[in-house]
């Protein structure tokens, strides 16, 4: 039994790690195409982000693996495989329920992480990415990673969901986590401005959090931020992009200087 549990945890850790590398790597490549030089001079930071994210993959993978084993072997959880067990209209409702519950958990734990002691002990590691990149989505201190790792595995014991819909929830979670940190806005304006934008969170909203810290704590929706008076609207990336251009120019000058020195010695 223990071997089966360990294998399940290891498999889930691998899945989380591959999902992270594929998603963050894909959006990092897209960033390189759409905004060349945006991550110039950030190689040491990116390596640190990847290191901590891979550690977080294990922390996310272990509880998911244990729960997956319990579901398969003992029928734990309220995951159902037969579409006939619930009306078809419930499938999208279950996705919405998971996203709403996850968003509420994230808001309050994230806000708590900004209290002085938890921030110093754990959350400061995430904010050490200045500016964050597409690789920063899972760059957490282990204590912070643990607060995120228990959410979905806990919800499957409470809210019925089909594996396909659970996969959709995890896809939304991964994509939004990465794109919120990648340093530019990929979604159309109507998603982050106007009526709908007043309730949805994209990179423009989360950028404001990394700029000001004490605001914009949500993950998917602006409901809790607006209700609790912590919403500071959306930011823009002009200053970050100007700094990136300066870093890129400095990196190019340093590279050219190094080349001149080599040629001089030759």
User: Residue 168 and residue 172: Cα distance in Å, rounded?
Assistant: 6
pLDDT of residue 69: 97
Q: How far is CA 266 from CA 164, 223, 259, 260, 263, in A?
A: 62, 64, 11, 10, 5
For the chain, the first-to-last Cα distance in angstroms comes to 65
The pTM score is 0.92
pLDDT band at 252 (very low <50, low <70, confident <90, very high): confident
pLDDT of residue 258: 61
Cβ proximity of 129 and 139 under 8 Å: yes
pLDDT tens per residue across span 114-159: 999 999 999 999 999 999 999 999 999 999 999 999 999 999 999 9
| pLDDT surpasses 80 at 49 | yes
User: Which residue, chain included where needed, has tokens 């940190």?
Assistant: 181
pLDDT of residue 244: 85
* Residue-level length of the chain: 266
pLDDT band at 55 (very low <50, low <70, confident <90, very high): very high
pLDDT of residue 263: 53
136 three-class SS: coil
pLDDT tens per residue across span 209-234: 999 999 999 999 999 999 999 999 99
Q: Outline where 75-114 has alpha helix (H).
A: 90-113
């Amino acid at each position: 039994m223990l071997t089966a549990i360990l294998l399940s945890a290891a498999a889930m850790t691998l899945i989380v790690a591959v999902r992270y590398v594929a998603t963050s790597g894909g959006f990092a490549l897209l960033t390189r195409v759409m905004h060349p030089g945006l991550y110039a001079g950030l190689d040491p930071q990116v390596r640190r982000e990847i290191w901590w994210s891979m550690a977080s993959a294990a922390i996310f993978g272990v509880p998911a693996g244990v729960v997956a084993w319990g579901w398969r072997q003992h029928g734990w959880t309220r995951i159902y495989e037969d579409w006939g067990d619930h009306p078809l209209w419930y499938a999208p409702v279950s996705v919405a329920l998971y996203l709403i519950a996850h968003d509420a958990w994230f808001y309050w734990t994230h806000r708590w992480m900004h209290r002085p002691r938890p921030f110093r002990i754990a959350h400061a590691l995430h904010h050490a990415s200045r500016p964050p990149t597409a690789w920063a989505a899972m760059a957490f201190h282990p204590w912070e990673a643990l607060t995120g790792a228990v959410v979905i595995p806990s919800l499957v014991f409470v809210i019925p969901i089909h594996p396909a819909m659970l996969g959709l929830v995890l896809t939304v979670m991964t994509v939004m986590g990465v794109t919120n940190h990648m340093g530019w806005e990929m979604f159309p304006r109507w998603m982050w401005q106007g009526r709908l934008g007043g309730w949805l969170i994209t990179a423009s909203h989360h950028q404001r959090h990394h700029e000001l810290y004490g605001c914009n704590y949500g993950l998917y929706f602006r409901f809790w931020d607006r209700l609790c008076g912590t919403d500071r609207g959306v930011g823009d990336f002009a200053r970050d992009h100007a700094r990136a251009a300066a870093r890129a120019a400095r990196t190019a000058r340093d590279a050219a200087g190094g080349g001149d020195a080599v040629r001089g010695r030759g």
